[in-house]
Every structure is written in C-alpha cells, then in structure tokens.
C-alpha cells in the first residue's frame, strides 16, 4: 500500500490495541468481566414499529379475525374510497389531522386520502407531500370526550423515513398467479435508543386492487424522488475479519435489507490482504452509487485509501507526493464486522450492523476528514488515525504472532508491549489548528502553507506513545473515544502525546479511556488540536535493543519504526508527516451530533 514503506495488516487495530488492553486490565487486574451493555428490549416491540401502543408487526394481519366480521369495516376495506388530490388542492379540511406535534401538517399539499385498516382500526389515511398520517374512524359522539380524543389521536410517519413499498399478498399452496391482495406494506427506518436505527413495517390493509394500485404507484413515485439513495452498490467483504463472521453478517442481516430497498449489489469476497486495494485500482465503478466494506477497521481503511487513490489518478494528480488531494468520487459504507469497528462506531455512534445498513439505504451522507501520511515528501497512504510508540509496537508484536487466535494474539501483544515498555526519542513538530479568517483568506489567495502560517511548534524528548487522530475513535469500551474532542469533519486532528513515565502510571492513563475520568489528566500527557504533525524519531534512540526482540516487526529493526495506521502496520525509517484534509471522503452515516439533535420522526415511538 505504501510507497517507500512496508505495510502489513492484521486483525489487531490501532484503537484495538488500547481497547483490547482495557479488556485485559479488567479481566486480569480487576477480575470484573467487561459487560458491553445490551440495549434494553425496545418496549416489547420485537423489532417492529408501534402505532399508539398497538403493534403493526408483519404478522398483524394473519393474527386477526377475517375482515368480514368487522361489521362496517368490510365496506371500508373492500370499497375503500380514494381521492387523488388535484395538484394545487391542499384544501382538504385538515384541522382534524393536525395535532400539536405537527402544526405544519395543515399547510401541506395532500396527495391522496383513503381508508385502510391499520392495526385493528379502520383508519382515515392522508398522504401529504411530507408525511403519511392516519387516525381511526370512530362513530361521531354527541358529547366531547377528551380522554377518547387522546386515545385516538393522529399518528404519522414522515415520508423521508420510508425506504420501500411492496404490495402485500397472501399466497395459498393451490393458488396460481399473484396471490390475494391484502394491501400495501411500507418499510420504514426508525431511530431508536442510543443512535440505533431499525427497520420496521407498516401494513395498510385494503383488499381493493384499484385502491392499492393508486397508493402503491404514488409511494413508488415518492421513493423515486429520493435521488441521494443508492440504487447500485459495490460490496467488498473480508471473510477473515474478526472471527470470520463477515460473510454471515452480510448474507443474514445486510443483503435482505438491501433487497427490500431494491438496491442492486455486486459482491466481491476478498481473498488476500490488499485484494480490495488492487481491485479498486482497476475495476469499473461507473454503474455504482457507492462502495460498501463489510469487515473491520483495517478493511474499511484499505477501501477508503483505495477510493482516494483512485480519485487522485482520475484527477490526473501525481500519487507519489500528494499535497492537496481531491475527494473520493463515491461514498463509502462501513458495515462493522471486525473486532473493534472504531470507524463504524465513530460514524454511527454505535457499532450496529442494521444501523450501518439503514444509513446506506437512506443515503445519509457524512463527510469525514482524512489524513495523508508521507515521508520526506513521498506519499505513503491515506488513513483516519495513527499511533506511534506503544501502539505501533503492540501491533507489530501481534503481527509476529498471527498463528494465535485474534483475541489471544492481542492479549499477548499488549502484555508483551507493556512488559517491554520503552520510550522513543523523537522530535514532534506540529501546526496548531487555526481556522482564523485571515489564514483562510491567505490560503484562498494561493499562498503556500508555509507562508500562511509560521506557527509550527516543536516538542522533543522521550515519548511512550504518540496518537494522531482525525476521528474520535469511539468503541464500546471507550465510548467517549480515544480522541473525544475531535469531530468527524472539523478539519482538525488530535495529537496526544504520553511522555516517558513509569509503567503503572502509563497503565493508569490507558485504563482511564474506559472510565468517565479524564484520560488526559496526567502530568505526562499532553493534547493538542492540530492540522499537521511531523514525527521524527531519532534512529540512535536509547530505547532500541534489537537483540531483545524476537520478530522482524517489533522494533525499529533495520531503522524502521512501526506505525499503527488504522490497524495496518506501516514501517517507516524516517520522519512521518501527517496532514489532515477536511471532508475528503463521504461515508454513509450520520454524525452523532446530528443524530442526537434530530427529532424522533415517527409518532409511533
């Protein structure tokens, strides 16, 4: 992957080093098993939506009595009256539909109005340009009853949360042809707790072919209007990720949802390390709207690197020394199937396969900052985060013990790197993050960066670990992230340095990542918000004793220093220059800030 540097990858990842270590500490020292808190069962919903306390699960229809027993409901279902609203209409009296939560409903253009059975009720259903609203039809009451009104208030789902529509039919064994029409099923993306998304269905039951056909075509038309949603995806699946579960994850959880959404896929199962990179160099991507990686951080980083490299070539840029890279042309989806899934977790606020899949289906796009790594003017690779020192060494040890199982290997590597903890003598220079107007203006005028900013700062000494992170690097055991003050797209990186200290103090610092206490509140830890960093190790460092090491990767053997870039081992002999490039790649997802700010969009929740 890298020019002028050797690179290999493993199941052990940059934050995995720290993450795994935290797990080991908990097991070995505290003797408390780390329990990744499972989300509470979603109010007994069994994975489906809820309409005002009633489930509208897929099986709802089958569970109920035949419609004929529902008295007045029969005519509603069989002779459902639909009204296609005239284009400029919007004049349907809407006072009865508008609730306190959605005052804007009254102003919306109404597209269709008709009767469907939803849950157990015959409902007056209104499709407007923004939402589908429904309210049970009840006999008129002479006296007002506010409790009654509360129980039967309007419910709605916003159209932007619908990702597919199908005609619902029942097939009997003897039946030939297309089966008996039961109505329409809408597939909806719902936000649940802790940034998770889930798929749900809403059945609109009506036996009339004509009625359903009009509504079905209208929903299709609405869905076709969401031009940001992908129609065709290139999938790259690493069957070796974590405990080799990526294939199962994809075919059991991801593919069925993509099929429902009508997304075409072309799947490549990678056969060797670097396969995704070489494939994406050459393959035709014209017909695809996005690329999806099913695997861990190493795979995701490799695919991101490949897409960016491809973009530079397509733009006719020299890839030996990339100064101002152009952005990737296709968005990248990351389905977490690795051991730590830091990228997916940072992106979605949770490492959850269905959430990641739904972000792809809904076409949610999150621009993300990317770093370039180069040495003495020579481009090495793209990446999101890196560790030098302890993090690099631990990964190097793991690489030398690939015959072990992934978890064993990481435990062993962390213990060994801690046992041999030693500082690297180096010089670190960095350009502090500065988004002042003046600086931006000077850059816009084409001044070289060196002329725009002479604020380079330099620190030197012995460092146990140096982390450089353009994304927050969140994961289940470090929920705030290894770099909690960094955002996905704020154009800056966190530079975190741990100077030489005693082993127990360093371990204390590492353990803080899993706690609510500030992991940086140690006299030997410094943090900076930066745009560029140069790490220049001193080759005659007192810390290197090759005779103590047992593998080719574990130290600066042959004057190469191990770096951990998104879990890939990168060995570089000299200075490494890291620069952040704001919003260089679009990932499918939505930042946690947005997710937290967003309102619940379905009244069913």
Ligand X SMILES: Nc1ncnc2c1ncn2[C@@H]1O[C@H](COP(=O)(O)OP(=O)(O)OP(=O)(O)O)[C@@H](O)[C@H]1O
Q: Is 325 in the site for ligand X (CB under 6 A)?
A: no
Helix axes 406-419, 390-399, angle to 10 degrees: 130
Residue 416's SS3 state is: helix
Which of 298, 333, 484, 589 is close enough to bind ligand X by CB under 6 A? 298
Residue 408's SS3 state is: helix
Q: Which is nearer to ligand X, 560 or 565 (CB)?
A: 565
Report, in Å, the least distance between residue 333 CB and ligand X. 14
Provide the token pair at 129.
Answer: 């340009």
Query: How many residues are recorded in the chain?
Result: 605
Provide the token pair at 524.
Answer: 């030997």
Q: Which is nearer to ligand X, 354 or 525 (CB)?
A: 354
Calculate the alpha carbon distances from 314 to 283, 304, 326 in Å.
Answer: 13, 15, 10
Helix (H) or strand (E) holding 127: strand 121-128
Which of 55, 121, 155, 273 is close enough to bind ligand X by CB under 6 A? 273
Q: Which is nearer to ligand X, 122 or 301 (CB)?
A: 301
Report, in Å, the least distance between residue 5 CB and ligand X. 15
Q: Which is nearer to ligand X, 125 or 410 (CB)?
A: 410
Report, in Å, the least distance between residue 272 CB and ligand X. 5
Q: Which is nearer to ligand X, 16 or 76 (CB)?
A: 16
Other Cβ atoms less than 10 A from the Cβ of 377: the count is 10
What sign for the dihedral angle of Cα 437, 438, 442, 443?
negative
Q: Is 193 in the site for ligand X (CB under 6 A)?
A: no
**Which span sits near ligand X by CB under 6 A: 30-38, 239-247, 428-436, 486-494?**
239-247
Q: Which is nearer to ligand X, 114 or 298 (CB)?
A: 298
Report, in Å, the least distance between residue 6 CB and ligand X. 14
Q: Which is nearer to ligand X, 239 or 363 (CB)?
A: 239
Q: Is 241 in the site for ligand X (CB under 6 A)?
A: yes
Which of 90, 262, 274, 432 is close enough to bind ligand X by CB under 6 A? 274
Q: Which is nearer to ligand X, 164 or 340 (CB)?
A: 340
Q: Is 339 in the site for ligand X (CB under 6 A)?
A: yes
Report, in Å, the least distance between residue 323 CB and ligand X. 26
Q: Is 275 in the site for ligand X (CB under 6 A)?
A: yes
Beta bridge partners of 158: 131
Cα angle 433, 435, 437 (rounded to 5 degrees) comes to: 150
Which of 272, 450, 540, 597 is close enough to bind ligand X by CB under 6 A? 272
**Which span sits near ligand X by CB under 6 A: 35-43, 236-244, 413-421, 536-544?**
236-244
Question: In terms of Cα–Cα distance, which of 13, 9, 7, 8 is closest to 339?
Answer: 13
Provide the token pair at 245.
Answer: 């579960």
| Cβ neighbourhood burial of 43 (10 Å; 0-12, 13-18, 19+) | exposed
Binding mask 550-569 for ligand X (x = CB under 6 A): -----------------xx-
C-alpha to C-alpha distance for 304 and 349, rounded to whole angstroms: 19
Which of 4, 90, 239, 479 is close enough to bind ligand X by CB under 6 A? 239
Q: Is 296 in the site for ligand X (CB under 6 A)?
A: yes
Q: Which is nearer to ligand X, 340 or 519 (CB)?
A: 340
Provide the token pair at 509.
Answer: 């610092």
Q: Is 9 in the site for ligand X (CB under 6 A)?
A: yes
Q: Which is nearer to ligand X, 338 or 389 (CB)?
A: 338
Which of 270, 555, 571, 586 is close enough to bind ligand X by CB under 6 A? 270
- HEC string for 143-191: CCCHHHHHHCCCEEEEHHHEEEEEEEEECCCCCCCCCEEEEEEEEEEEE
Provide the token pair at 2.
Answer: 């890298």
Question: In terms of Cα–Cα distance, which of 237, 465, 230 is closest to 365?
Answer: 230
Dmax (CA) for the chain in angstroms is: 94
Q: Is 13 in the site for ligand X (CB under 6 A)?
A: yes
| Cβ neighbourhood burial of 30 (10 Å; 0-12, 13-18, 19+) | exposed
State which residue has the least CB distance to ligand X: 296
**Which span sits near ligand X by CB under 6 A: 40-48, 110-118, 267-275, 462-470?**
267-275
Decide if 384 contacts 470 (C-beta within 8 A): yes
Which of 333, 338, 392, 589 is close enough to bind ligand X by CB under 6 A? 338
Q: Which is nearer to ligand X, 340 or 497 (CB)?
A: 340
Describe the chain by its helix, strand, coil percentages, rounded to 5: 30, 30, 40
Q: Is 345 in the site for ligand X (CB under 6 A)?
A: no
Q: What phi-psi label fits residue 262: left (phi over 0), alpha (psi between -120 and 50 degrees) or beta?
A: left
Q: Is 18 in the site for ligand X (CB under 6 A)?
A: no
Q: Is 391 in the site for ligand X (CB under 6 A)?
A: no
Provide the token pair at 382.
Answer: 């793209």
Which of 240, 372, 465, 591 is close enough to bind ligand X by CB under 6 A? 240
Q: Which residues form the interface with ligand X (CB under 6 A)?
A: 9, 11, 13, 16, 238-242, 270-275, 295-299, 302, 338-341, 567-568
């Amino acid at each position: 992957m890298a020019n002028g540097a050797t690179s290999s990858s493993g199941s052990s990842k940059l934050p995995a080093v720290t993450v795994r270590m935290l797990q080991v500490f908990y097991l070995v020292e505290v003797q408390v098993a780390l329990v990744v808190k499972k989300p509470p069962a979603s109010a007994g919903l069994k994975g489906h939506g809820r309409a005002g306390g009633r489930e509208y699960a897929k099986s709802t229809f089958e569970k109920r009595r035949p419609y004929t027993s529902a008295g007045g409901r029969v005519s509603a279902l069989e002779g459902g009256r639909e009204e296609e609203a005239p284009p400029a209409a919007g004049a349907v009296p809407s006072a009865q539909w508008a609730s306190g939560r959605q005052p804007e409903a009254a102003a919306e253009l109404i597209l269709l109005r008709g009767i469907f059975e939803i849950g157990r009720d015959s409902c007056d259903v209104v499709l407007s340009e923004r939402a589908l609203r429904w309210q049970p039809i009840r006999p008129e009451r002479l006296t007002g009853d506010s409790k009654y009104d509360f129980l039967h208030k309007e419910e709605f789902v916003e159209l932007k949360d619908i990702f597919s529509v199908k005609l619902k039919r029942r097939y009997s064994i003897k039946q030939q042809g297309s089966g008996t029409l039961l109505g329409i099923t809408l597939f909806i993306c719902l936000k649940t707790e802790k940034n998770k998304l889930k798929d749900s269905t809403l059945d609109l039951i009506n036996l009339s072919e004509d009625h359903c056909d009009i509504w079905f075509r209208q929903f299709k038309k609405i869905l076709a209007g969401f031009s940001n949603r992908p129609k065709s995806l290139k999938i790259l699946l690493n069957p070796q990720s974590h405990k080799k579960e990526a294939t199962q994850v994809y075919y059991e959880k991801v593919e069925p949802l993509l099929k429902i959404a009508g997304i075409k896929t072309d799947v490549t199962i990678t056969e060797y390390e670097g396969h995704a990179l070489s494939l994406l160099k050459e393959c035709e991507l014209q017909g695809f709207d996005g690329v999806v990686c099913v695997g861990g951080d190493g795979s995701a980083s490799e695919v991101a690197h490949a897409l960016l490299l491809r973009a530079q070539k397509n733009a006719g840029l020299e890839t030996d020394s990339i100064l101002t890279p152009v952005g990737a042309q296709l968005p990248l989806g990351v389905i977490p199937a690795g051991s730590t899934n830091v990228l997916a977790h940072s992106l979605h606020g949770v490492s959850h396969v269905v959430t990641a899949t739904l972000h792809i289906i809904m076409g949610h796009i999150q621009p993300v900052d990317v770093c370039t790594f180069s040495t003495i003017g020579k481009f090495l690779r793209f990446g999101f985060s890196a560790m030098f020192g302890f993090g690099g060494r631990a990964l190097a040890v793991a690489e030398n013990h690939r015959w072990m199982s992934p978890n064993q290997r990481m435990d062993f590597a962390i213990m060994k790197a801690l046992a041999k903890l030693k500082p690297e003598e180096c010089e670190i220079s960095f350009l502090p993050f500065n988004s002042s107007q003046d600086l931006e203006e000077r850059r816009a005028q084409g001044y070289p960066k060196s002329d725009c900013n002479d604020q380079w700062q330099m620190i030197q000494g012995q460092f146990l670990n140096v982390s450089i992170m353009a994304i927050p690097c969140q994961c289940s055991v470090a929920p705030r992230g290894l770099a909690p003050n960094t955002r996905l797209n704020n154009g800056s990186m966190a530079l975190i340095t741990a100077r030489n200290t005693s082993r127990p103090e360093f371990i204390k610092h590492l353990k803080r990542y899993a706690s609510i206490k500030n992991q940086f509140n140690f006299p030997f830890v410094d943090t900076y918000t930066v745009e560029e960093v140069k790490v220049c190790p001193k080759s005659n460092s007192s810390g290197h004793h090759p005779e103590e090491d047992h593998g080719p990767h574990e130290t600066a053997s042959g004057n190469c220093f191990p770096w951990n870039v998104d879990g890939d081992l990168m060995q570089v002999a000299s200075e490494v220059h890291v620069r952040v490039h704001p919003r260089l790649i679009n990932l499918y997802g939505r930042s946690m800030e947005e997710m937290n700010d967003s309102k619940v969009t379905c009244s069913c929740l």
